[in-house]
A = this chain, B = another copy of it.
Amino acid sequence: MPSELRKQRDQERTEKRRLSLLESASRVFARQGYHRTLISDIVNDAGVGQGTFYRHFKDKRQIFEALFELLLQKVAAQFQDMESRPPQSAEEFRSASRDAYRRMAQVLDQNRDLASLLLREGRTIDAEFQRTVEGVFLEFAQLAQSFLDLGVARGFARPMRTDIVAQAIVGLVIALADSWWAGRFPGVDIDTLVDESVALAFDGMIAIPNTAQPS
């Protein structure tokens, strides 16, 4: 009895089906938004029967949740191999920041539909999901804050309310991602976006008098 083989093959097929549903859901959510999407839209897009959906997910919320976790995994993977040595100089501080920023930009852009969807609708599902999403935002903010604290402690950054600035930075990233996806920066590449953001965050907007008046 090749039941072992059978079992494995079945499992693989099941997993494939699940992924195909996730892809369809992502596509349809991106097109119509979470709330205007029916289960039937998803299964039609996936080309499977109505009942098949319920074999893999409890309801619309759960497939959305699964998409959310998928994105989190990808984000985590992107930062997996990131150097963790604390910066030794102002220059290293800045380059580490730029690196983190660039990685975030990349993972967001590589998962554009998913990320855009989750950023836009994640907090409109229900109270619990709202908390989940805000928890993730907060985690990022806290990561940023501890990095800022380090910079302040070592004198690479000026004294500041790092809690406030960290949240501002996260908001800035999200806002720019959103604008970028909305096509409001025609002709701008990601590197420019990153460079401008980092420049703003580090140097601010103010004209630098030193450089301008060398004499």
Seen from chain A, the residues whose Cβ lies within 8 Å of a Cβ on chain B are: 33-36, 90, 94, 120-121, 123-124, 126, 134, 138, 141, 148, 151, 155-158, 160-161, 163-165, 167-168, 170-172, 174-176, 178-179, 182, 184-185, 188, 192-193, 196-197, 199-210, 212
Contacts and interface: CB of A to CB of B under 8 A. Distances in A.
B158 A208 contact: yes
A15 B152 CA distance: 55
A124 B185 contact: no
A14 B123 CA distance: 35
A97 to B, nearest CB: 9
**How many copies of the chain does the oligomer comprise?**
4
Contact of A200 (B134, B160, B185, B209): B160
A13 to B, nearest CB: 14
Contacts of A178: 171
B202 A204 contact: yes
Contact of A199 (B35, B160, B185): B160
Given A134-B182, A151-B205, A168 B157 contact: no
